């Protein structure tokens, strides 16, 4: 069977990292994890978005580009699952900063230029696992996970990210399996974990 390149997508707080780890372990797939904690600009960004948006988003972009180039080599030997596709970084997180005026036109143009200069080297996604989560549930999860720099995030910002995610999905021609996570307690419920893994496994077999 051809090795598959899978990515888990969803609005912040939807459970991307938890789901990616679960699928990696259950399906024996190599995991590419998002290291948001390594981004020294991120706390500064939440304190002053206009000052640090370009720096923070460019850090994530370069981190993700490096991951994907590694994945290209790994796919010769094994399937790979990634926490958050690079397109979500570009067309949701970074684009939101341009929409909000935190990245000016010149910064947004440079950011896109960096992305497009590497785009032709990216392996195509085999499957996108989209975690569909309602905004009230997202708010609750963000509060519960207690990352200090996220406490003051306005609902309007989360709503914008969610809208941009859905807009990008409508434009892409990639196989997608959508999983509503509102009532799936992936962290504590074995039954919920089994349901999710079974659903994704079936989608993978149908490719």
Rounded mean pLDDT, 5-19: 92
Backbone phi, then psi, for 177, in 5-degree steps? -115, 120
The β-bridge partners of 177 are 129
Q: What is the pLDDT of residues 154-186, one digit of tens each?
A: 889 899 999 999 999 998 888 999 999 998 888
Q: Where are the domains of the chain?
A: 5-205
Lowest-pLDDT choice from 65-69, 93-97, 141-145, 165-169: 141-145
pLDDT value for 185: 87
pLDDT on residue 78: 94
The pLDDT value recorded for residue 81 is 96
- CATH superfamily, domain 5-205, is P-loop containing nucleotide triphosphate hydrolases (3.40.50.300)
Q: Decide: 127 and 81 in contact? Cβ < 8 Å.
A: no
Residue 57: pLDDT above 60? yes
Can you tell me the mean pLDDT for 57-76? 92
What is the average per-residue pLDDT within 58-71?
91
Kindly state the average pLDDT of the residues 14-38: 88
Which tens digit of pLDDT belongs to each residue from 80-89? Answer: 999 999 999 9
The pTM of the full predicted model, rounded to 2 decimals, is 0.89
């Amino acid at each position: 069977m051809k090795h598959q390149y899978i990515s888990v997508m969803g609005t912040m707080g939807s459970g991307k990292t938890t789901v990616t780890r679960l699928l990696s372990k259950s399906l024996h797939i190599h995991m590419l994890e998002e290291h948001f904690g390594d981004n020294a600009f991120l706390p500064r960004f939440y304190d002053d978005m206009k000052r640090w948006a370009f720096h923070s988003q460019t850090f994530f972009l370069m981190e993700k580009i490096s991951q994907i180039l590694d994945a290209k080599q790994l796919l010769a030997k094994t399937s790979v699952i990634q926490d958050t596709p690079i397109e979500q970084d570009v067309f949701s997180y970074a684009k939101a900063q341009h929409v909000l005026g935190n990245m000016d036109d010149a910064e947004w143009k440079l950011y896109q230029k960096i992305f497009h200069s590497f785009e032709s080297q990216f392996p195509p996604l085999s499957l996108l696992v989209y975690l569909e989560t309602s905004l009230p549930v997202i708010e609750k999860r963000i509060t519960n996970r207690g990352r200090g720099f996220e406490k003051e995030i306005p609902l309007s910002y989360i709503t914008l990210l969610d809208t941009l995610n859905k807009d990008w999905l409508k434009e892409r021609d990639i196989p997608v399996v959508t999983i509503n996570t509102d009532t799936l307690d992936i962290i504590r419920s074995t039954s919920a974990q089994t349901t999710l893994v079974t659903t994704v496994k079936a989608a993978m077999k149908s490719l």
